[in-house]
Structure 1
Amino acid sequence: MTHTWWSRYQFGGVWRVAAPAPVVFAALDEPADYPRWWPQIREVVRTGPDSGRARFRSVLPHELRVGVRATERDPDAGRLAIRLTGDLDGWLRWSLVPVGGGTLACHAQDCVVTGGLPTRLGPLARPFFRANHAAMMRAGERGLRAWTRGRRGG
């Protein structure tokens, strides 16, 4: 796939969650529940045991539609990898690290925006899309913390 430098995005970060790694993994491994704890994820529809479609939108008035497929799922090692297609083409990986009674949920993402508003606006809009993503990820971390709060024993 041919793309320009400004259509490629690489993100990463660490979420600190006060729940055991198996509880955090179970939440991340059940995408149908994402809209219940991650406000920017508007819909997830399963299309198979390891695949689905997702719609999400953060602060900017632009919705992304993405196909998702789990390419790695290892609860014992705390690793989950997702292939992204559609408005984003790339991957997202989670690595969970137990720390005390909690978990560090490390995420990395590498993707190319393939169409729609981001490609029409070009490189001048890049800082806005990066800030939009950061706002979405902060909300996801808050949501996951709240979602796992009642599931720590499981």
Structure 2
Amino acid sequence: MVGNSKSSSDYEFLTVWRVAGTPHEVMEILGDAGALARWWPSVYLRVAPLDPDNPEGSAKTFSLHTKGWLPYTLKWQLTVTEPITEKGLALSAQGDLNGTGRWTFEQDGPETVITYDWRVSASKPLLRRLSWLLRPAFSANHRWAMARGQEALALELRRRRPGADLASIPRPAPPTFVSWHRRPRMTHHT
């Protein structure tokens, strides 16, 4: 974004979560982008490292295929742009979404307050062309995705607790509107 002028396809979201756990526990989960599809499957359909041979030993750039509640998907790259610490992490996005995100973690008693500042511009033609009309729906879609993230993170934190009864912890929500090519084919018998 340049100056104060914003396009109808520019979005700024500030999300605040509160979860039972320490900033270190949160950092270990949110800082591992490669595991997003496992514990936040309602949003992250596919995550693939683009630099698995990074000299620091862990990938910093990932190819993502994501979705929210609405029946469209986004393909973009996430790059971790600052070291991941117990205070948070920063990232950039390129592809169907372009911009920056910053996660911050702050201990508050037995909980961690997590703030996500996400500033992106929609590049996917559908989103860019229809933002002027469907901005409230696209914003609601983001809020839905982030609510599923808070739920999924709380479940993942429970799963990682020593002595956790894994069978009693529900699985995270699956994606909505699974694409036709992923649905089982129906066969007709005559």
Q: Same fold per TM (> 0.5)?
A: yes
Matches within 5 A, 1:46-125: 46-48=49-51, 49-76=59-86, 78-125=87-134
Aligned counterpart in structure 2 of residue 148 of structure 1, from 142, 149, 157: 157
Question: Is this contact kept in 2: 1:45–1:52, CA < 8 A?
Answer: yes
Secondary structure in 2 matching 1:133: helix
Aligned counterpart in structure 2 of residue 37 of structure 1, from 11, 36, 39: 39
Secondary structure in 1 matching 2:153: helix
* Greater RCO structure (CA 8 Å; 6+ sep): 1
Amino acid at match of 2:130: L
Measure the CA separation in 1 of the matches of 2:16 and 2:143.
12
67-76 vs 41-50, greater mean Cα deviation: 67-76
C-alpha RMSD of the superposition: 1.7
How big is each residue's C-alpha offset from its partner over 1:61-82, in whole Å with a ceiling of 9 and x where there is no partner? 1100111110012414x22001
Aligned to 2:181: none
**Cα offset for 1:4?**
5.7
Structure 2 vs 1, CA of residues 21 and 7 (structure 1 numbering), >3 Å: closer, same or farther? same
Measure the CA separation in 1 of the matches of 2:131 and 2:138.
11
The answer to which structure has the higher strand fraction is 1
Gaps in structure 1 of 5+ consecutive residues: none
**Cα offset for 1:152?**
4.0
Runs of 4+ in 1 over 6 A off after TM superposition: none
% identical aligned pairs: 30
How big is each residue's C-alpha offset from its partner over 1:36-93, in whole Å with a ceiling of 9 and x where there is no partner? 22121111100112111111111111100111110012414x2200110001110111
Aligned to 1:19: 21
Gaps in structure 2 of 5+ consecutive residues: 52-58, 163-190
Measure the CA separation in 2 of the matches of 1:144 and 1:42.
16
**Cα offset for 1:100?**
1.0
Amino acid at match of 2:38: R
Q: How many residues align?
A: 152
